[in-house]
Chain A
Amino acid sequence: MSELLLEAPAPAVRGPLRGIYAGNTRSVVARGLRVIARNNWLIVVTGFFEPVFYLLSMGIGLGALIGGVEFYGTEVPYAAYIAPALMAVSAMNGAVYDSTMNVFFKMNYAKLYQQMLSTSLGPLDVALGEILLALFRGLLYASGFMLVTTLMGLNLAWTAVLAIPAALVIAFAFASFGMAITSYMKTFQHLDYVWVVMMPMFLLSATFFPIEVYPQGVQWVIQALPLWHGVDMIRQLTTGLVQPSILLHLTYFAVMILVGLVFTTARLRALFLR
């Protein structure tokens, strides 16, 4: 019917990734962007306001009563203390929302991954593409929030510009882990468990007050959770009080990203290519 028909190119990936990766993640990302452009751009915008409201109520309101908080030996105004924490939280929330709710819907109702995996795409292309989309949402939230905090004068050092890539690292880690966990969920009720974990983590991870108020044992628990690493990392950057421990935080997230990716790819394979 056509003068010239192109056959699909054979995926050129060799080695241990052959069969699970076709090097075509961009088509998965492009699909997501097209859907956002056509339908959901408003939903993306709404997620931006939540941390802004927290910042206004807690930072400005409560901050007037509290004054300053000590961070690595330096007194920091309360609003400037919680702003980076809220940025870490918004990166986390954007990524988690996308990689749980949205992925759950696509997996179980829209059957999107079955469609993708009946083409030459491999499970790693799909996992990476979906995670990058969650990252894109994290980037939007983080950049918008950064703009607000800059206007409010809450970024105390030039290192604050590094908070955006740092927020992306956080979003990447949560998205890759979130997608793997979502693959085990069978009903919408299971999704509630995510928020049962997220809510206390949000409130307790040195978001609104220093971690030193807890007894040593509790501190260890909180330091084992990912959000604390995110909060401390971004806070070091926006206040300019950068510590060697930032490398530890980055390592924590690098491991989380890697484990999440391997886990998600394995799950997609188990679910759709069994």
Chain B
Amino acid sequence: MIEATGLRKQYGDFTAVDGIDFAIEPGEAFGFLGPNGAGKSTTMRMIAATSTRSAGDLRVLGFDPETHGPEVRAQLGIVPQADQLDEELRVVDNLIVYGRYFGLPLDYVKRRSEELLEFAQLTEKRTARVDGLSGGMKRRLTIARGLINAPKAMLLDEPTTGLDPQARHVLWDRLFRLKEEGTTLVLTTHYMDEAEQLCDRLVVIDKGTIVAEGSPAALIREYSTREVLEVRFGSARNGQAAEAMAGIGQRIEVLPDRVLVYDHDGEAAMSAVHERGLSPITSLVRRSSLEDVFLRLTGRSLIE
């Protein structure tokens, strides 16, 4: 459905995307996971035919977005990072006018807009001004707007960044429904929990290159252990304590605020730490997440 080989994007001397390959299948929820500035948004814009590539090959729904921009965009739903709603129009008019940009008939667009308002749980806001909506409502309206042309694929750039936890869950629920209905989702995120919740498959992207690819579970299996022990000794003593813990678990990672011990059995690792006479201020055993995968692959945290 979407296929890239050796995709590159250069802005002057700066290489935003440095030769990446990926293939997204119909009906799949595909994620680009990486920190800010990794090249995720640039990649999305190239797929969405709103940015041209510097090198490599890209096919979106059978078209080259470079030469067939309008054709490609006609079949995509775009949810940009900043909502970019039309603040001079009311909520329902945002949907109607946007549908007309696609050349859809007015009476169809009007009917469809009401259904989408319902889907986005915004029916009682239909004639409200856009600038009065909460962040979560704006994002849901943007998603509803992106669905007006019955897109073959939805592109969501950081769909829940900046939303409070409750609004995120409402949004995830809506995205799940889309996924169940068979809509192809392509999303970028720097939240590992979001990637784990929503993505069937993802690529980890860092500094413009893909460093790993697979399903969330497979990536965790491959690059991390089942459990992680997090211990804190205070920022001044973490390094020293980590040296004293050498040999416990399979791998030890020292972060500025905590030490991570990777092991299949976190509780056993914890006892081992105590046996060595170390007493951390706090300790916690948790399951491995994509955050750990990212740390393993790049040596850095996702959110810094």
Residues of chain B lying within 8 A (CB to CB) of residue A255: none
Contact code string B103-136 (vs A, CB < 8 Å = 1, else 0): 1110010001001000100000000000000000
Q: Number of B residues whose C-beta is below 8 Å from A?
A: 40
A8 CA / B115 CA spacing, docked (Å): 17
Beta-carbon contact of B101 and A121 below 8 Å: yes
Known contacts A34-B97, A38-B90, A112-B86; is A6 also within 8 Å of B74 by CB?
no
Q: B72's closest neighbor in chain A, by CB?
A: A120
Beta-carbon contact of B78 and A10 below 8 Å: no
Q: Which of B47-55, B222-230, B244-252 contacts A (4 or more CB under 8 A)?
A: B47-55
Asked whether B84 is an interface residue with its Cβ less than 8 Å from the other chain, the reply is yes
- Which of B74, B75, B93, B119 has the most CB atoms of chain A within a 10 A radius of its CB? B74
Asked whether A273 is an interface residue with its Cβ less than 8 Å from the other chain, the reply is yes
Residues of chain B lying within 8 A (CB to CB) of residue A23: 103
Asked whether A152 is an interface residue with its Cβ less than 8 Å from the other chain, the reply is no
Residues of chain A lying within 8 A (CB to CB) of residue B89: 31, 34-35, 38
Beta-carbon contact of A39 and B68 below 8 Å: no
Residues of chain A lying within 8 A (CB to CB) of residue B75: 7-8
Known contacts A8-B149, A24-B101; is A118 also within 8 Å of B80 by CB?
yes
Known contacts A110-B87, A115-B84, A121-B70; is A274 also within 8 Å of B51 by CB?
yes
Q: A2's closest neighbor in chain B, by CB?
A: B115
Beta-carbon contact of A22 and B103 below 8 Å: yes
Asked whether A272 is an interface residue with its Cβ less than 8 Å from the other chain, the reply is yes
User: Which residues of chain A from 99 to 155 have any CB-CB distance to chain B below 8 Å in the complex?
Assistant: 110-112, 114-122
A2 CA / B104 CA spacing, docked (Å): 16
Interface residue from B51, B85, B97, B150 paired with A30 (Cβ < 8 Å): B97
A34 CA / B86 CA spacing, docked (Å): 12
Residues of chain B lying within 8 A (CB to CB) of residue A13: 70
Residues of chain A lying within 8 A (CB to CB) of residue B49: 273
Known contacts A11-B70, A112-B86; is A274 also within 8 Å of B52 by CB?
yes
Contact code string B81-99 (vs A, CB < 8 Å = 1, else 0): 0101111111001000110
Closest Cβ–Cβ distance, residue B174 to chain A (whole Å): 11
Beta-carbon contact of A119 and B80 below 8 Å: no
A272 CA / B69 CA spacing, docked (Å): 12
A245 CA / B284 CA spacing, docked (Å): 88
Interface residue from B74, B80, B112 paired with A114 (Cβ < 8 Å): B80
Interface residue from A9, A28, A273 paired with B50 (Cβ < 8 Å): A273
Beta-carbon contact of B103 and A11 below 8 Å: yes
Beta-carbon contact of A6 and B150 below 8 Å: yes
Beta-carbon contact of B74 and A9 below 8 Å: yes
Beta-carbon contact of B88 and A35 below 8 Å: yes
Asked whether B282 is an interface residue with its Cβ less than 8 Å from the other chain, the reply is no
Closest Cβ–Cβ distance, residue A104 to chain B (whole Å): 15
Asked whether A199 is an interface residue with its Cβ less than 8 Å from the other chain, the reply is no
A274 CA / B54 CA spacing, docked (Å): 10
Residues of chain B lying within 8 A (CB to CB) of residue A31: 86, 89, 97, 100-101
A31 CA / B73 CA spacing, docked (Å): 19
Interface residue from A8, A19, A30, A115 paired with B69 (Cβ < 8 Å): A19
Asked whether A27 is an interface residue with its Cβ less than 8 Å from the other chain, the reply is yes
Residues of chain B lying within 8 A (CB to CB) of residue A116: 101
Asked whether B240 is an interface residue with its Cβ less than 8 Å from the other chain, the reply is no
Closest Cβ–Cβ distance, residue A209 to chain B (whole Å): 42
Asked whether A42 is an interface residue with its Cβ less than 8 Å from the other chain, the reply is no
Residues of chain A lying within 8 A (CB to CB) of residue B115: 1-2
Closest Cβ–Cβ distance, residue B250 to chain A (whole Å): 46
Residues of chain B lying within 8 A (CB to CB) of residue A34: 89, 93, 97
Asked whether B181 is an interface residue with its Cβ less than 8 Å from the other chain, the reply is yes
Asked whether B271 is an interface residue with its Cβ less than 8 Å from the other chain, the reply is no
Closest Cβ–Cβ distance, residue A120 to chain B (whole Å): 4
Residues of chain B lying within 8 A (CB to CB) of residue A43: none
Closest Cβ–Cβ distance, residue A211 to chain B (whole Å): 42
Interface residue from A10, A27, A114 paired with B101 (Cβ < 8 Å): A27
User: Which residues of chain A from 22 to 62 have any CB-CB distance to chain B below 8 Å in the complex?
Assistant: 22-24, 27-28, 30-31, 34-35, 38-39
Beta-carbon contact of A6 and B50 below 8 Å: no
Closest Cβ–Cβ distance, residue A272 to chain B (whole Å): 7
Beta-carbon contact of A10 and B97 below 8 Å: no
Residues of chain B lying within 8 A (CB to CB) of residue A19: 67-70
A19 CA / B75 CA spacing, docked (Å): 14
Beta-carbon contact of B149 and A118 below 8 Å: no
Known contacts A2-B112, A110-B87; is A22 also within 8 Å of B80 by CB?
no
A136 CA / B45 CA spacing, docked (Å): 34
Asked whether A5 is an interface residue with its Cβ less than 8 Å from the other chain, the reply is yes
Residues of chain A lying within 8 A (CB to CB) of residue B90: 38
Known contacts A39-B88, A120-B70; is A272 also within 8 Å of B103 by CB?
no
A52 CA / B176 CA spacing, docked (Å): 60
Known contacts A1-B115, A120-B73; is A8 also within 8 Å of B52 by CB?
no
Q: B67's closest neighbor in chain A, by CB?
A: A19
Q: A19's closest neighbor in chain B, by CB?
A: B69
7 pairs of residues in contact across A and B, judged by CB atoms under 8 Å? A27-B97, A31-B101, A35-B89, A111-B82, A111-B84, A118-B80, A119-B102
Q: Lowest 10 CB-CB distances: which A-B pairs, in order?
A: A8-B102, A120-B74, A119-B101, A8-B149, A27-B100, A5-B150, A8-B74, A11-B70, A118-B78, A120-B70
